[in-house]
Structure 1
Amino acid sequence: MRGLSFEIPNRYGQFLLDILNAFDFKNYFWKTGGEEAYYIENDKLGSPLFPKPYLYTGDAFYKRISETDYYLIFADLKAFPDPLHVRDFTSYEQFLNSQCEFVLLLVDCSYVTIYAKDQQVLKALHDQAIASKYENVSYITDENDSRTTFEIF
């Protein structure tokens, strides 16, 4: 198994927190880049959830995704155990050869694709997606992975 795909509701909430609570995501450094996601302020889109590409500690990342609701449009999030080995990559093979442990890509407000090196994490994420009643939950395998790049645009 390479990963997992599913659809979240196209509305605001704390979906990143709900998804990531399936494992101890605060133990990682989170690289953001190219997100379009906004906090909800007075029932409208407000300030950016991730103002610019940045590297967050697990605690800082947790704080951003747990304090208030937000609306996700696009997201490219990568988790690294060590900030010294953070780097960009654009393919599954590069992911495997990197220190990155986890990738979450979200496009068009609803379509989530996750890649994780740890099979236990994938199983926990799958169970969490089912429990959250997300739609079209399925594993990504060597045979059915049609993604050619890890870019969201």
Structure 2
Amino acid sequence: MSLRGVSFKISNEPGRVLLDILSAIEMKAYDWFLRNFDFPIQTMDGDLYDSLEEFSIDRIATGHELAKWLRGPSNYLIFAELFAFQSGQTEEVGMTYEWFQESNCHIAMLVYDCTYVDIYCKEQHVSEAFYENAVRRGYTGIKWVTDDNDPRTRLSVWSE
């Protein structure tokens, strides 16, 4: 049984969910490739606007840029794909778990249907940090993702 990462469920409500999830690691140490974001931001009066006006789909961001953006107004996370590379080592992002295994990507995070989070990590201690963070934050359905229990071959929130 080979460990791939961790999965869990988050609350289906506005907040700073990605910031909370990524607090498990030093997100500023990475460059991030962001894909398939559906991430409206909530204004003070409760209205939602499309956050992609500022942060376009399929974009590379430094960890500092991502952290600054996530510390902004409350948001409502619907879909998101984030891929973490060591600073300065980003590459074209593939669509398969096989690509992830062979790439320079260290972390692949998929968020879908407002509540489901799957995080793939190359290093076990990073998976453990995400797992412990999920427990601390009271997320539900927390489980290890392994070769034995994960049928996923595509690293995307959208199927073909």
TM-score by length of structure 2 reads: 0.91
* Match status 1:135 vs 2:140: yes
**Range moving further from structure 2, 65-74 or 108-117:** 65-74
Aligned with 2:50: secondary structure? strand
> 1:75 aligned to 2:61?
no
Percent identical among aligned pairs is: 35
Rounded to whole Å, the distance in 1 between the matches of 2:97 and 2:57 is 24
Q: What is the aligned-residue RMSD (CA, Å)?
A: 1.2
- Bigger Cα displacement from structure 2, 39-48 vs 141-150: 39-48
Q: Which residue of 1 aligns with 2:38?
A: 36
> Gaps spanning 5+ residues in structure 1: where?
none
Query: For 2:98 and 2:127, how far apart are their aligned partners in 1?
Result: 18
Contact 2:30–2:85 (CA<8 Å) still a contact in 1? yes
Task: Please state how far the C-alpha of 1:104 moved relative to its aligned partner.
Answer: 0.7
**Secondary structure, aligned partner of 2:133:** helix
Q: 1:110 aligns with which of 96, 99, 115?
A: 115
Alignment partner of 1:17 out of 16, 19, 23? 19
How many positions carry a matched residue from both structures? Answer: 153
Question: 1:84 Cα deviation (Å)?
Answer: 4.4
1:89-100 maps to which residues of 2 (within 5 A)?
A: 89-100=94-105
Measured in 1, the distance between the counterparts of 2:74 and 2:123 equals 29
Provide the C-alpha distance between the structure 2 equivalents of 1:86 and 1:43, rounded to a whole number of angstroms: 37
**Mapped partners of 1:84, 1:134: distance in 2:** 31
Q: Which amino acid aligns with 1:6?
A: F
Runs of 4+ deviating beyond 6 Å: none
- Output the amino acid matched with 1:18: D
C-alpha distance in structure 1 between counterparts of 2:89 and 2:125, whole Å: 25
Q: CA deviation at 1:47?
A: 3.0
Out of 38, 46, 71, the residue aligned to residue 66 of structure 1 is 71
AA aligned opposite 2:109: L
> What secondary structure, in the 3-state scheme, does the structure 1 residue paired with 2:109 have?
strand
